[in-house]
Structure 1
Amino acid sequence: MNKWIRGTNAVVLSLAVIGIFIVLTIFLNSTKSLQVDLTQNKKFTLSDQTVNTLKSLDKDVHIISLTSDQTDPYINRQVVDLVQEYKKRNSKITFDEYDLVKQPAVAKQYDADPAGTLVVESGTQKKSIFYSDMFLPGQQQGEYKFSGEEKLTQALVNLNSKVKTKVYFLSGHNEIPLNQMNLWKTGLENANYEVADLNLLREGKIPDDAQTLFIIGPQNDISDKEADLIKTYLNGNGKLYLSLGFDPDMATKWKNIDTIMTAYGIKDQHAVAIEPKQSKLFDPLTIIPEYGTHDITKKLADYNLLTMMNLAVSLNADQPVADYPVTSILKTTAQAYGETDLKQLATNGRTSKDASDINGPLNLGYVVQTKDNKPKAVVLGGSTLFVDQFIQQQGNRDFALNTVGWLQEQKDQVTIRPREGDAVQQALITGGQANMIFYGTVLLFPLLFLIVGGTVWWRRRKG
């Protein structure tokens, strides 16, 4: 009788424990906001800025992960985990994953990078985030910084914004065409800019809705009539984004371009920056500028993201204009110099410093404000960083978007510090070691527990 009672109590107790675990599991699963992040870098803890954005999100949002066999599984896992955290916080977010290889029909609908792309869409609005933009190099070899939360939250903020900013890219002077700056153009469109081409010879004027006029990498000068139109536009509320190209005869050819810069106290020194000893990875014509103190470059400096320029023209602002204070945001080291013999440089690609060259440090980029401290212009000495081939290197894309955001006084910029990530640890083992691990964990250990448990049960039954 006592044995029967003890057996019954054991069964009831076991069922009670199992029931408690089931009820607790259901409760925890239903309580989506209750979680404890025990990871070292708090990878599942969302910032207050993200939480507030998700609370204010009142529209249906569909997030799509597009990957292929070129996508790193470890990287994809982190992105997917991040999106799942967003989904837990707001029921209006839905999430789907597609393989670009297995589902080519889906791939045709989106401009996706085979290394991984996250698409955020709501109604007719669509934002694309490349996986490569979410992972930044860390301080040590193999380490990384994950900025996925900042990128994804910014995309949600942009979806909520109903304001569109119209910007025009000037053409007709051998500027870099928009179809060679697709990544920058896509980034601007994702940030709620409407991007259009503008040929003044055809249009005859700068459109009334132009918030900013972009002149990117011109090889030829602007005509006198075009210069008059641009000056009239800038004398009003118009804003300028001027990024110089390269021409061996720029000193004699760029009269009107130089005049536009002179209105803000900025002078083209007609010299190409040479950095002889900066990096063994690049030739002396590739410059990695040092950042000036400014909102545009603060995050780039904090995250140790470098901007790279090639064939950069040196600028100077030693005669400031009172109504337009300027700030240098990019400059070379003191070891650099400005090569003034541009024809020799263009002919044989070689150069050496002589008495006619300009001593460093050289200024390669300025921002211009009005006397009321309102953004007016961005003037850069180089434009190759905007081309698709180079814009994904280091901080080029962030710098390109940051300068436009500052110029347009964007107030809804998301700032979330990237999470530090350790290098992925890989264990190299032989086939025999792999078999030993498999048989030990799948067969040996379970069998050992079974034998020990059976022995204890048998002894108690006999006792």
Structure 2
Amino acid sequence: MNKWIRGTNAVVLSLAVIGIFIVLTIFLNSTKTMQIDLTQNKQFTLSDQTVQTLKTLDKDVHIMAFTSSQTDTLMNREVTELVQEYKKRNGKIVFDQYNIENQPQVAQQYDVDPSGSLVVESGSQKKTIYYYDMFLQGQDQGEYQFAGEEKLTQALVNLNVKDKSKVYFLSGHNEIPLNQMTLWQSGLQGENYDVQDLNLLRDGKIPDDAQALFIIGPQNDISDQEAGLIKEYLKGTGKLYMALGFNNNMATGWKNIDDLMAQYGIKDQHAVALEPKQSKLYNPLTIIPEYGYHDITKKLQDYNLLTVMNLAVALNSEPVADFPATAILKTTDQAYGETDIAALAQGKYAKDDKDVKGPINLGYAVETKDNKPKAVVLGGSTFLRDDIIGQQGNRDFALNSVGWLQEQKDQVTIRPRENPKMPTAMITGGQAQAIFYGTVMLFPLLFLIVGGTIWWRRRKG
């Protein structure tokens, strides 16, 4: 009788423990926002900016991850886990994953990359975030920084912006065409810019809704009539984004383009910057500029992202009372500006007394006397092309400089998470089999034998 009572108590107690465990599991699962992050770098803890953004998100958002066989598995897992954290906190977020190779008909609808892309879509608005933009090089070999939260939260913030800023890219002077800057263009569109082409000979004026005029890599000077229209536009609230381009005839100067820069105190020195000793990975015509202290470059400095420029034109400035200019890109003092453009075009260059001494400025940010952004003038433009903009921090610099010029107020700043190097172990095939059979078969069987033995002895006793 006593044995039966003891057995019944044990069964009841076991059922009670199981019941409590089930109830506790259901409760914790229903409390989606209640969690304890025990990871070293707080991988699953979202910033206050993100939490607030998710609280105020009141529209349906479709987030899609596009991957392929070229996508790194660990990168994809980290991105997926991040999106799942967003999804937990806002029921309006729907998350789907697609394989580009198995579902090409879906991938063709979006601007995706085989290495991995995240598309954020709501109604007619969409933003593409590439995996390679989320993962940054760490301080030590093998370490990396994950900036996915900042990129994704910024995309969600941009969904709430109703009015788009119209910007116009000047054409007609052999500028870099928009179809060679599609990555930058799509990035601008994702930041709520309406990008349009503008040929003044055809259109006759700068549109009234133009919030900025872009002149990217011109190979010819603008005409006197065009210069008059642009100067009149800039007298008002108009803003200028100019990136010069290399040309064999640049040594003679471009009167009207030079005049546009001169009104802000910036001078084209008609020399191409060379950095002979900077990096063995690049030729001397490829410059990795140092950053000046400015809002445009601050985040790039914090994240250790470099900008890479090629065939950059040397610039200088003279103070203008109404338009203070700040140097944001410059070479080291070992660099110099080659003034013999004809020889340089033939691949010949050598430093002499006629050349411009370093350090050389390659970019300026210009403000009004009221500290309002007015112009960005850069000595190079090739880094904006599709084949180069993906290098290092080129795309970030291009977008940051436009964001500063347009006074974007909703910029998200979330510091990337530092992730240590993933520990790896080199094992042989035999060792792998031993680990598999030991963990999947031997240990479970051992527990069954021990448990069965104890049960049998108690039953007999």
TM-score class, shorter:
over 0.9
Match in the other structure for 2:116: 116
Provide the residue aligned with 1:159 in structure 2. Answer: 159
**Alpha-carbon separation, structure 1, partners of 2:308 and 2:337:** 17
Equivalence for 1:242: 242
Counterparts of 1:322 and 1:60, CA distance in 2: 49
Residue 63 (structure 2) pairs with residue 59 (structure 1): no
- The correspondence of residues 433-444 of structure 1 with structure 2, limited to 5 A, is 433-444=431-442
Note if contact 2:253-2:270 (Cα within 8 Å) is conserved in structure 1.
no
Report the secondary structure of 2:396's partner residue: helix
3-state SS in 1 of match to 2:159: helix
Q: 1:198 to 1:144 in 2, by over 3 A?
A: same
1:43-192 maps to which residues of 2 (within 5 A)?
43-192=43-192
Cα deviation for residue 442 of structure 1 reads 1.1
Amino acid at match of 1:432: G
- Give per-residue Cα distances to partners, 1:265-293, cap 9 Å, x unaligned: 00000111110100111111110000001
* Residue 350 of structure 1: how far off its partner (Å): 2.8
Q: Work out whether 1:256 is the aligned partner of 2:256.
A: yes
Q: CA deviation at 1:428?
A: 2.5
Contact 2:325–2:364 (CA under 8 A) maintained in structure 1: yes
Per-residue displacement from partner, 1:195-242 (whole Å, max 9, x unpaired)? Answer: 011111111111111000000001111111111111111111110000
Q: Report the AA paired with residue 218 of structure 1.
A: P
Matched, 1:335 2:358: no
Instruction: Tell whether 2:453 aligns with 1:455.
Output: yes
Is 1:17 matched with 2:17?
A: yes
Does the residue aligned with 1:391 lie in a helix, a strand or coil?
Answer: coil
Which position in structure 1 is the counterpart of 2:309?
309
1:383 aligns with 2:381: yes
C-alpha distance in 2 between matches for 1:99 and 1:199? 41
Q: Check the 8 A contact 1:276/1:284 in 2, yes or no.
A: yes
CA contact (8 A) 1:369 1:376 kept: yes
**Pairwise CA distance, 1:460:** 1.9
Give matches, 1:340-351, under 5 Å: 340-347=339-346, 349-351=347-349
**What CA deviation, in whole Å up to 9, does each residue of 1:234-254 have, x standing for no partner?**
111110000000112213241
2:27 is paired with a residue whose SS is helix
Give how far 1:457 is off: 1.8
User: Is the 2:315–2:379 contact (alpha carbons within 8 Å) kept by the matching residues of 1?
Assistant: yes
Q: What is the distance in 1 between the residues matched to 2:441 and 2:59? A: 51
Q: Distance in 2 between matches of 1:140 and 1:65?
A: 29
Amino acid paired to 2:450: V
Q: Deviations over 1:334-354 (max 9, x none)?
A: 11111111110001x131111
Distance 1:350 1:134 in 2: 40
Which residue pairs with 1:424 in the alignment?
A: 422
TM-score normalized with structure 2 length:
0.99
> 2:123 & 2:159 partners in 1: Cα distance?
10
Displacement after TM superposition at 1:99 (Å) = 0.9
- Is contact 1:54-1:86 (8 Å) kept? yes
**Separation in 2, partners of 1:426, 1:134:** 23
Range 445-454 or range 204-213, more displaced: 445-454
C-alpha deviation, 1:109, in angstroms: 1.1
SS at 1:271 equivalent: strand
Identify the residue that residue 322 of structure 2 maps to in structure 1. 323
Structure 1 segments (4+ residues) deviating >3 Å: none
Amino acid at match of 1:58: D
Q: Deviation per CA, 1:9-47, whole angstroms, max 9, x where unpaired? A: 100111011111100010000001100001110010000
Distance 2:162 2:87 in 1: 23
Q: Which amino acid aligns with 2:69?
A: D
Two-structure CA RMSD over aligned residues (Å): 0.9
Tell me which of 371, 394, 397 is aligned to 1:396.
394
Q: Structure 1: any 5+ residue segments left out of the alignment? A: none
Which segment drifts farther, 423-432 or 302-311?
423-432
Task: Among all aligned residue pairs of Structure 1 and Structure 2, give the percentage whose two residues are the same amino acid.
Answer: 76
Q: Distance in 2 between matches of 1:153 and 1:453?
A: 51
Q: Distance in 2 between matches of 1:140 and 1:180?
A: 35
Verify the 8 A CA contact 1:220 1:253 in the aligned structure 2: no
What is the rounded CA distance, in whole Å, between the counterparts of 1:280 and 1:341 in structure 2? 24
Amino acid paired to 1:258: D
What is the CA–CA distance in structure 2 between the aligned matches of 1:169 and 1:436, rounded to whole Å?
A: 64
- Structure 2 Cα separation of the partners of residues 83 and 144 of structure 1: 19
The Cα shift of 1:365 comes to: 0.3
Q: Secondary structure at the match of 1:410?
A: coil
Give the length in aligned residue pairs: 461
Pairs within 5 Å for 1:32-47: 32-47=32-47
Cα distance in 2 for residues equivalent to 1:362 and 1:291: 12
CA shift at 1:108, angstroms?
A: 1.6
- Indicate conservation of the 8 Å contact 1:181/1:388, yes or no: yes
Deviations 1:346-378 (A, max 9, x none): 01x131111111111000000111111110000
Partners in 1 of 2:386 and 2:39 — Cα distance? 37
Alignment partners' CA distance in 1, 2:418 and 2:113: 24
Name the residue aligned to 1:273: 273
Mapped to 2, the partners of 1:312 and 1:248 lie a distance apart of 13
Aligned letter for 2:373?
A: P
Structure 2 distance, partners of 1:245, 1:186, is 22
**Alignment counterpart, residue 364 of structure 2, candidates 324, 349, 366:** 366
Q: Mapping of 1:191-206 within 5 angstroms?
A: 191-206=191-206
Consecutive unaligned residues of structure 2, counting only runs of 5 or more, are none
Determine the C-alpha separation between the residues in 1 that align with 2:379 and 2:309.
9
Q: Quick one: distance in 2 between partners of 1:55 and 1:346?
A: 57
CA distance in 2, matches of 1:354, 1:462: 102
C-alpha separation between the residues in 1 aligned to 2:410 and 2:114?
A: 30
Q: Which amino acid aligns with 1:107?
A: A
In structure 2, give the amino acid aligned to 1:47: S
1:68 positional shift: 1.0
CA distance in 1, matches of 2:98, 2:7: 53
Alignment partner, residue 411 of structure 1: 409
Equivalent pair of 1:386/1:400 in contact (CA under 8 Å): yes
Question: In structure 2, how many angstroms separate the alpha carbons of the residues matched to 1:430 and 1:350?
Answer: 55
User: How far apart in 1 are the matches of 2:369 and 2:325?
Assistant: 10
Q: Which one-letter code corresponds to 1:205 in the other structure?
A: K
